[in-house]
Amino acid sequence: MPRVDGVAKVTGRARYLDDLDAPGAWHGATVRSQVAHGVLEAIEIDPSLGASLGAGLDGSQVCVVTAADIPGRNVIALIEDDQPALVPIGGRVMHHDEPIALVAAPTRQLAFAAAKAIRPRIAARPAVFDVDASLAGAVALYGPPSPPSPAGPDGAGGDANVFKQFLLRKGHASDAELDAVFAAAAHVIEGRYQTSPQEQMYIEPQAMMASWQDGRCHIVGSMQCPFYVHKAMKALLGCDADGVVIAQSVTGGGFGGKEEYPSMLAAHAALLARKAGRAVKMVYDRDEDIAATTKRHPCRTRHRLAVDARGELAAIDIDVVMDGGAYLTLSPVVLSRGVLHAAGPYRCPVVRVRGRVVATNHPPHGAFRGFGAPQTTFAYERQIQKLARLRGEDPLALRKRLALRSGDTTATGQLLGASVGTDEVFAAIEGAIDGAAGAPPVRHGVNRHGAPVRRGRGVCFYFHGAGFTGSGEQRLAGRATVAATARGFEVRSSSAEIGQGSITIFTQLAAAALGVDPAEVAVIDPTTSRVPDSGPTVASRTAMVVGAVVERAARAVRTRLEAWAAEHGVTGTLAAIATAHAAATGGELAETVTYEPPPGIAWDDATYTGAAYPVYGWAACLVDVEIDLDTCELAILRCVQAVDVGKAINPAIVRGQIEGGTLQALGWAVLENVVYKDGKVANANMTNCIVPTFADAPELETILVEVPYPFGPGGAKGVGEIPMDGPAAAVANAVEDALGCAFDELPISPEAIAATRPGWSAS
Amino acid sequence: MKLALEVNGEPRTVEVSPWKRLLDVLRDDLRLTGTKEGCGEGECGACTVELDGEAVNSCLVAAGQCDGRRVTTVEGLARGDVLHAVQRQLVACGGAQCGICTPGIAVCAAHVVDRGLIAGCDDAAARARVRELLAGNICRCTGYQLIVDAVIAAAREVAP
């Protein structure tokens, strides 16, 4: 079935926030800090600049908001209340481009110009941008002050400024026991891996509009999680749940970037609208969006692998350190997912994973597709590659030999049951490389410019937990409603369509469960006053978790309608029965269903053991690369992804998810990067902060593997994030194959390749 | 200045600063909001329109350069309810996801198809040519594969 919103999008009729008619609305702009760390002493308004704009800053043409204008608590409520909506006078500035004050004016141009007339005076303090220096307590940023400690290698000496840490142990009770396994190993492989920050680069910049009517605040904008914004607004405005309504406009991409940050824009727009007494729209410029909003956490992973004489994994020891940036935001959850995926989808009796996420004066890092797993996946898939080289074993065969299957246990001791597609994804990749057409690329050659090239092949195998971590889904108890109304059937949930296809998937699921034509089902917008809280649109959970709830609610509606029809002697299609029911009762027939976890799912937060996720997706990736030996440019010749998705409810949409995630991963591997200079994003525009174009992208080969998940709708399990996790390692493995030296840091840019030239193998 | 231009086949006149971006003239003065702004610096292609038969980034064109000229935006691709082949195939193949880049891609792809820029190419050559011709339009959702499929399918539909 084609996307429900397809025609509106290809004709330009879909209305994004900046397309909405807003007569009389003013435009908002943000005054930001120009230092990375300090104390805000004053906010100075330059009267001459204000006058030269033809707009004295007297409130009639320009409205200025500071922290003093906040009616409730000055926090962006999420996990912890450490991040203010606006830095107050006397408060601490924690990062470059932090919001200090707001301006609204009748036009966007005037608002941005007026913002320049407002100058925060900040007493700068020493800032810290390096995680090891932060761990060593160079500057106190978070938590109880701890005495500076001499930093050992990789921060071994300190534990200051830690937002959150986890320690996961399997198969051993003490460090001494773990050390003994390493001491007895036939081989130990040690590596240190560094991954870079990554910009989500949704093509619609962050955008939000607020207005007040009858004392109630109405927010509409580009977002993934209407109830996250709702929670944040209740705290900021000091109102109850009915005091604020959050609505989503058509959203031009998210990828995690519109998970937590929209609460900041909503706060700012609401404060300006309240003071200005009119609707206020805020649409970020691209440079502002890149400079100020969240990115993927940069991450360093140290990984030790102990192998016995038969080539079996004996022990894995991992230390993960992520740079959380200036505020906690979602960092503990990102770190958790990184830690839980760090040991990889391989059998190993003894595992220790230590993870820490550390405060620095970078702008906060936050949610991005994969959510910590791509960082640790890169590390373990490089380690497994090194093991294959050490043993002279075929890299794909070695992975297949060590891979987890049903009946095995993961690093958290989770016994794997149904829907483990290991053998099926390996078979798919083997199929793609069978025969002459799939042979490895010839090592030496010449490209179309006549330059000498080297070619290589890399593979990787990986998994991704679908849905919230641990007991998250039970705690959240997401709900969705299906209703038979006079207008037809409605699906009501807080899941946001952000391009991933959720409204199409929900339409299909509800229509199938009701036994009606999809045209008779409407998925309504996730406005907080009209839908139950189904949870956020994150964690590869929408189709699998909320979709299953929608399916159950639709079945319940069908059962009740059929019972009503039998009782009242009504015959005909279910749509006809629904119409008759609405006419007879004057109301609707609705069922709201709450998520129920599959039986036997147990997780222990204290020991970090048990079922970390209800189910996993499984995937393998193959990449062939070609490196121009003169320019060190890298071309991806072939990229095959085989992904076990449980069941593809809509194959075109599932393919689109996998291919989009794959290209984001390939981009992260070879050309994307966010460059910080003294805590400020130095490449805050699309000219320098590049993402792959049509011309950069290879032809993507996608193989959908379906090993059904018994508790997902129709057997489906999460697919949104998994394609992001693996390809970067496959690229690094391919470049290593071509050049004969290791690539353990991202991005693998031409400059990075050139720097390894002395280490290239002779043949 | 008084700017007279033909937009999607209709003559339009607006009073604007000659420095105003064509993008803003379309969106603000003519309320044609199908054309999107993604970066404002000519990198993303979301604001692509046809100007006298050339595909351009409307964020880089000043109103003063447009007097007396013909502009086609995404709103001008369909004929009534009949979608352009490119639009139809973008829907059918799954080439639109979040949709914010889609108007620019549809305009550029329609330009490629209507002018026969990949006519006569075999499949592999056509795919490579589409990737070059659309390299100024960034999509962050699809990985481009299904968009290339859609453009090829549309071209075959128009000139089998």
Query: Mind giving me the DSSP string for A433-496?
Result: H-SGGGSPPPSEEE-TTS-EEEEEEEEEEEEEEESSSTTHHHHH--EEEEEEETTEEEEE-S--
Evaluate whether A520 touches A576 at the Cβ level (below 8 Å): no
Q: Nearest Cα to A640, choosing from A662, A667, A618?
A: A662
Which pLDDT score is estimated for A150? 55
pLDDT band at A59 (very low <50, low <70, confident <90, very high): low
- Alpha-carbon gap, residue A675 to A690, rounded angstroms: 11
Residues of B whose CB is below 8 A from A22: none
What SS3 state is found at A755?
helix
Q: List the single residue in B35, B83, B94 with the smallest CB-CB distance to A653.
A: B94
Query: What is the 3-state secondary structure of A609-640?
Result: EECCCCEEEEEEEEEEEEEECCCCCEEEEEEE
Evaluate whether A645 touches A702 at the Cβ level (below 8 Å): no
- Alpha-carbon gap, residue A391 to A28, rounded angstroms: 61
Alpha-carbon torsion (A441, A422, A298, A656), positive or negative: positive
For residue A289, give the chain B residue with the closest CA.
B39
- Alpha-carbon gap, residue B160 to B148, rounded angstroms: 17
Structure tokens that stand for A715 in this block: 């057997």
Which pLDDT score is estimated for A60? 72
pLDDT band at A47 (very low <50, low <70, confident <90, very high): confident
Which pLDDT score is estimated for B4? 98
Q: How far is B88 from chain A (nearest CA, A)?
A: 8
- Alpha-carbon gap, residue A224 to A253, rounded angstroms: 9
Which of A142-146, A147-151, A534-538, A620-624 is least confident?
A147-151
Q: Nearest Cα to A16, choosing from B96, B91, B34?
A: B34
Average pLDDT over every residue of B109-117: 97
Give the tens place of pLDDT for each residue, A629-668.
999 999 999 999 999 999 999 999 999 999 999 999 999 9
Does the model's ipTM exceed the 0.90 cut? yes
For residue B91, give the chain A residue with the closest CA.
A6
Show the CA angle centred on residue A333, arms to residues A327 and A335, nearest 5°: 85
Give the tens place of pLDDT for each residue, A254-291.
999 999 999 999 999 999 999 999 999 999 999 999 99
B74/A11 touch (CB, cutoff 8 Å), yes or no: yes
Which pLDDT score is estimated for B28? 96
Which pLDDT score is estimated for A586? 95
A3/B137 touch (CB, cutoff 8 Å), yes or no: no
Using alpha carbons, list the distances in angstroms from residue B23 to A221, B17, B41, B46.
Answer: 21, 13, 12, 10
B143/A253 touch (CB, cutoff 8 Å), yes or no: no
Q: List the single residue in B100, B134, B146 with the smallest CB-CB distance to A203.
A: B100
Structure tokens that stand for A666 in this block: 């390939």
* Centroid of chain to Cα A10: 26
Q: How far is B40 from chain A (nearest CA, A)?
A: 8
Q: List the single residue in A10, A13, A659 with the smallest CB-CB distance to B90.
A: A10
Show the CA angle centred on residue A450, arms to residues A746 and B135, nearest 5°: 55
Structure tokens that stand for A589 in this block: 């027939």
A697/B145 touch (CB, cutoff 8 Å), yes or no: yes
Average pLDDT over every residue of A513-518: 98
Backbone phi, then psi, for A329, in 5-degree steps? 35, -120
Query: In sequence order, which residues have a C-beta less than 8 Å from that of residue A77 and are 6 or more positions away?
Result: A231, A232, A234, A235, A236, A263
Which pLDDT score is estimated for A155? 57
Residues of A whose CB is below 8 A from B92: 2
Alpha-carbon torsion (A32, A34, A37, A41), positive or negative: negative
Which pLDDT score is estimated for A425? 98
Q: What predicted TM-score, i.e. pTM, was given to this entire model? A: 0.97
Helix (H) or strand (E) holding A289: helix A286-292
Evaluate whether A337 touches A398 at the Cβ level (below 8 Å): no
pLDDT above 90 covers a percentage of chain A that reads: 92
Which pLDDT score is estimated for A213? 95
Q: Which of A3, A4, A9 should we substitute to test contact with B (largest number of B Cβ atoms within 10 Å)?
A: A9
pLDDT band at B159 (very low <50, low <70, confident <90, very high): confident
pLDDT band at A145 (very low <50, low <70, confident <90, very high): low
* Centroid of chain to Cα B150: 15
- Alpha-carbon gap, residue A556 to A277, rounded angstroms: 46
- Alpha-carbon gap, residue A382 to A301, rounded angstroms: 11
Average pLDDT value for chain A: 95
Q: Which of B75, B100, B118 should we substitute to test contact with A (largest number of A Cβ atoms within 10 Å)?
A: B100
What residue type is A551 in one-letter code? E
B96/A13 touch (CB, cutoff 8 Å), yes or no: no
Residues of B whose CB is below 8 A from A498: 98
Q: Which pairing describes strands A680-681 and A676-677: parallel, antiparallel, or unpaired?
A: antiparallel
- Alpha-carbon gap, residue A350 to A538, rounded angstroms: 31
Q: Classify the phi-psi angles of A3: left when phi > 0, otherwise alpha if psi is within -120 to 50, otherwise beta.
A: beta
Residues of B whose CB is below 8 A from A250: 99
Residues of A whose CB is below 8 A from B148: 694
For residue A720, give the chain B residue with the closest CA.
B141
Q: How far is B156 from chain A (nearest CA, A)?
A: 19
How many Cβ pairs within 8 Å bridge chains A and B? 167
Q: How far is A654 from chain B (nearest CA, A)?
A: 10
pLDDT band at A378 (very low <50, low <70, confident <90, very high): very high
What residue type is B76 in one-letter code? G
Give the tens place of pLDDT for each residue, A669-715.
999 999 999 999 999 999 999 999 999 999 999 999 999 999 999 99
Q: Does the pLDDT value for residue A334 go beyond 90?
A: yes
* Centroid of chain to Cα A731: 21
Show the CA angle centred on residue A198, arms to residues A193 and A202, nearest 5°: 155
Residues of A whose CB is below 8 A from B102: 9-10
Average pLDDT over every residue of A336-343: 98
Which pLDDT score is estimated for A632? 98
Give the tens place of pLDDT for each residue, A79-125.
999 999 999 999 999 999 999 999 999 999 899 989 999 999 999 99
Q: Which of A1, A3, A10, A286 should we substitute to test contact with B (largest number of B Cβ atoms within 10 Å)?
A: A10
Q: Which of A11, A251, A255 should we substitute to test contact with B (largest number of B Cβ atoms within 10 Å)?
A: A11
Q: How far is B39 from chain A (nearest CA, A)?
A: 5
Q: How far is A287 from chain B (nearest CA, A)?
A: 8
Residues of B whose CB is below 8 A from A10: 74, 83, 86-87, 90-91, 96, 99, 102-103, 106
Query: In sequence order, which residues have a C-beta less than 8 Å from that of residue A365 and are 6 or more positions away?
Result: A197, A294, A295, A296, A297, A298, A322, A323, A324, A325, A329, A331, A334
DSSP string, B20-53: SBHHHIIIIIS--TTS--SSSSSSS-TTEEEETT
- Does residue A747 have a cis peptide bond before it, meaning omega lies within 30 degrees of 0? yes
B43/A653 touch (CB, cutoff 8 Å), yes or no: no
Average pLDDT value for chain B: 97
User: Residue for token digits 């447009």?
Assistant: B66
Which of A51-60, A185-194, A559-568, A723-732 is least confident?
A51-60
Average pLDDT over every residue of B115-133: 96
Helix (H) or strand (E) holding A213: strand A207-213
A253/B98 touch (CB, cutoff 8 Å), yes or no: yes
Q: How far is B123 from chain A (nearest CA, A)?
A: 13
pLDDT above 70 covers a percentage of chain A that reads: 97
Q: Does the pLDDT value for residue A54 go beyond 80?
A: no
Give the tens place of pLDDT for each residue, B43-90.
999 999 999 999 999 999 999 999 999 999 999 999 999 999 999 999
Q: Classify the phi-psi angles of A733: left when phi > 0, otherwise alpha if psi is within -120 to 50, otherwise beta.
A: alpha
Residues of A whose CB is below 8 A from B141: 253, 499, 656, 660
Q: List the single residue in A10, A202, A205 with the smallest CB-CB distance to B91.
A: A10
Residues of A whose CB is below 8 A from B77: 11
- Alpha-carbon gap, residue B8 to B12, rounded angstroms: 10
Using alpha carbons, list the distances in angstroms from residue A510 to A328, A536, A715, B160.
Answer: 38, 20, 15, 39
Q: How far is A692 from chain B (nearest CA, A)?
A: 8
Q: Which pairing describes strands A26-32 and B70-72: parallel, antiparallel, or unpaired?
A: unpaired
Structure tokens that stand for A436 in this block: 């002459």
Residues of B whose CB is below 8 A from A8: 99
Alpha-carbon torsion (A363, A366, A371, A373), positive or negative: positive
Q: Which pairing describes strands A700-705 and A634-644: parallel, antiparallel, or unpaired?
A: parallel
- Alpha-carbon gap, residue A464 to A347, rounded angstroms: 16
pLDDT band at A600 (very low <50, low <70, confident <90, very high): confident
Evaluate whether B144 touches B131 at the Cβ level (below 8 Å): yes
pLDDT band at A156 (very low <50, low <70, confident <90, very high): low
